[in-house]
Structure formats: C-alpha cells, structure tokens
Amino acid sequence: MDMAPKTLETSRSEILSTVDGQPLKKALARTERTKRFKAILLVAPLLTFITVTFLYPICLMLFRSVENPLVAENMPQTLEVLQKWDGKSLPSELAFAAAAKDLAAARKSKMIGRLATRLNFETSGLRSVITGTARKVKKMEAPFKEAMIQARSQWGDVATWSTIKRLGPTIIDVNYLAAVDRGYNVKGEIELRDEDRRIYVSLFGRTLLMSLIVTVASLFLGFPIAYLLASLPLKYSNLLMILVLLPFWTSLLVRTTSWIVLLQTQGVLNDVMVWLGLFEDEQRVQLIFNAQGTVIAMTQILLPFMVLPLYSVMKTIHPSYMRAAESLGAHRYTAYWRIYVPNTLPGIGAGSLLVFILAIGYYITPALVGGQDGQMISNLIAFHMQKSLNWGLAAALGGILLGGVVILYWLYNSLVGVERLKLG
C-alpha cells in the first residue's frame, strides 16, 4: 500500500524531462550548481581581497606574537647543553664553551645584534652582555667559564642562563605574559613584574574606560540629533544630514589638531569662558594633553558613527505608534519612553558597538591630544612597532585587544542578538 505512491512519484519524476530528453530533476540540479558556481566566481575577488588585506595580516600578527626563532637558530649548541641543566646553579663548562661558539658564529653571520636585542627584551642589560662578549670571544681560550665571567660578570648569574633557556623554544608565551605585566622568574614560575614595570594592565583598563565614556557621550549627544533628523521634514533633515556627514569630508588630522587650538590654555574655549566671567584669567582650565582632551576630541570624531545607525532605525518607526499610545491614555513622555525608545534599541546597540570598537583602537587622536594621561593601548603598540622594535610584544598587545573585541561581539550576540543589529 505504501510503496504504490512512492513508485508513482518516482515514475512521474522520470517521465518529466527537458526538451533534449534529460530528466528534469537532473537538469534542475545542474542549473543550481551552475548558479552557485557563478555566485562563487562573483564573490571570489572580494574574498581574495579580504583574505590578503585583512585575514592574512591578522593571522601573521597572531603568529608573530608567539614566534621566537632567533635564539633557537643562533644558539643551538648552547640550548642543547642547557636541556640537561637543572637551573639551580651555574651550568657546566660545556655550556660556556657552546655559548662561546654560538656567539662567534652569530657575530660572523651578523645576527648578533638581533639576538642580543631579543634577549634584552626579556632581561634588561643582556644586549651589552651578548654583544660585548661576542667581540672578545675569538681571543678567549679554555676554560671558557672563567673567561666569559671575567669578560662580563652577568655570565656568572643564573638568571642570564635561565633567560637563554626560556627563550629557546620557537613558540613561546613570554610576550603575552609581558602584555599582562607578568613574566618568569629564575625558578621558571610566573610572577608579577616589578611595580615600576606594570604598565599594560592599567593601560588596558584606561583604554576600556575611556572608550566606554566616549560611547556613552556619543549616545547622549547623538540620540537627540538622530531624533531631530527623523522627525523633521525631508528637506530640512537632508540639510542637517549634510552637517552630520561634513566631518567625514575633513581630514582626521585636521579635526584633531583643531581641538588643540580650541582646548589649549590660551585657546578659544578658555578665552570665551574668561570673557563670560566664568573664572579669572589666572584660573584657565587645562583641557588638552590629558584624558579630558582625548575624550572630547574622540567623542566629536566618532559622533557620526552613532547618529547614522540611530537615524536609520528611527526613520522606520511610524508616527502612528506614538499617536496610538496617546489615544489610549498614555502621557506623551510615557509613550515616548515605553513605545518609541524600545523600538530604537537595534540602532542604539549598533551605534554603541561601532563607536566602542572604533574607540578602543584609536591612535592618532590620543597621540596628538592625549599627553601622558590620555594615552591608550594603541599608542604603546605603535611605540613597540616603530621605536623599540619589539614586534612580538606589540603583536601580543594587539592580539589581546582583538580578543577583547571578539568577546564583546560574543556578549552582544548572547545578550541582544546580532540579528537585531541594524546599521541602515
């Protein structure tokens, strides 16, 4: 009984065919495959561009944060001997002899400078120890232990050999530990760095706090602007929209430096407040080269990124919703907070997420108007990339920042839902 309908359906599908006699089911499947293949070809240039310019640099950065080939490539004999070292007392004469050979070979291959710099990142002062010993190693004779300690007393310190052994693996975690103000001691245990070297955790906290303040300030200022744009007639709202978009047509550098003119002690804002009699000329307020200047400048620069998502959502809210609530007895303010504002939550979420993510990675504005108190983690990343050349630590700081953004996105998706996010 049950087999009859299936057999009939199968026979009908076999009977239906195209003009050239092929079964219709196979022809439709081939057409769908062709469409999917064409779609992939159309998207392929974009995917290639994103992979080359976005995904590959991120993967390279994450790999650079744990990559450590210099010590393994330039001190292989020393590391081989140190594998059996207990780390409690000075290594044997074999380790000193191997180190002398490795340093001589590294100086000959002109890699001694890079090797010394990498070791110095982990333990201050090792650069001069490595380079100074490498210049004298050719004249040294056995026993190398006494000769190397005589050349540089740091070779008689267990911490020097611990650093070399710790940096031996090609994949290490010392950069991420340094990024959270931690490191290994002589015993190989993880501990906090000295108090005067604990800078990154507090800087991460300052970055998150300032980004949150900028996001809240942008929402506080952008919400009424977006509401005004959505409420006015089209000819007026278009004119105001041009004013909102006008900062995008001005260089970021110009906008940032203009705040220096406005906020400095002898600047326009202080002159106006003195002229209005708000305070005396000797009581001018310092609003630049500190955290306040960074927040003010970043809020103005990122404000359009909050206004546009809010406006796009508010424009879709029909005015009849408010009139219906008022006709049912709700006060105008009650209808606004109970009906209108909840409908704008997708725009609030999108604008806040966009502004916050942009704020935590800002570099130019804090560098120009931040001073010492207004610096953010991006400025330290740039410092290690351009000046100290500690690219591994810079990559680790960037990796932690990237992880924070991913966690923020995950929290938003868990609590609100990405499907409710609306940018336009």
- pLDDT per residue of the chain (424 residues) written in tens, 0 to 9: 454 554 544 555 455 776 666 777 787 888 888 888 888 899 999 999 999 998 999 999 999 999 999 999 999 999 999 998 988 889 999 999 999 999 999 999 999 999 999 999 988 899 999 999 999 998 888 889 999 999 999 999 999 999 999 999 999 999 999 999 998 888 888 899 888 888 999 999 999 999 999 999 999 999 999 999 988 888 888 888 888 888 888 888 888 888 888 888 888 888 888 888 887 877 888 888 888 889 999 999 999 999 999 998 888 888 787 778 878 777 778 888 888 888 888 888 889 988 999 999 888 888 888 888 888 999 999 999 989 889 999 999 999 999 988 888 888 777 766 666 655 5
| Predicted pLDDT at 356 | 92
Question: Which tokens hold the place of 96?
Answer: 């000193």
Helix (H) or strand (E) segment spanning residue 192: strand 190-192
| Predicted pLDDT at 421 | 61
Domain 200-420 adopts which CATH fold? MetI-like fold (1.10.3720)
Say how far apart CA 54 and CA 406 lie, in whole Å.
15
Q: Rounded to a whole number, what is the distance in angstroms from the first to the last CA of the chain? A: 56
| Predicted pLDDT at 274 | 86
Which letter does DSSP use for residue 171 in this model?
B
CA angle 152, 158, 164 (to 5 degrees): 80
Can you give the C-alpha Rg of the chain in angstroms? 32
Ramachandran area for residue 215 (φ above 0: left; ψ -120 to 50: alpha; else beta): alpha
C-alpha distances (whole Å) from 38 to each of 32, 34, 48 are 10, 6, 16
Ramachandran area for residue 17 (φ above 0: left; ψ -120 to 50: alpha; else beta): beta
| Predicted pLDDT at 110 | 93
| Predicted pLDDT at 1 | 45
What's the maximum distance between 2 C-alpha atoms anywhere in the chain? Answer: 101
Residues with Cβ within 8 Å of 189's Cβ and at least 6 positions away in sequence, in order, are none
Q: Give which of 179, 148, 97 is closest to 391, Cα–Cα.
A: 179
| Predicted pLDDT at 8 | 46
CB 172 within 8 A of CB 68: yes
The pTM (predicted TM-score) of the whole model is 0.83
Say how far apart CA 133 and CA 126 lie, in whole Å.
10
Give φ, ψ of 23 to 5 degrees.
Answer: -60, 140
Domain ranges of the chain: 3-64, 69-172, 200-420
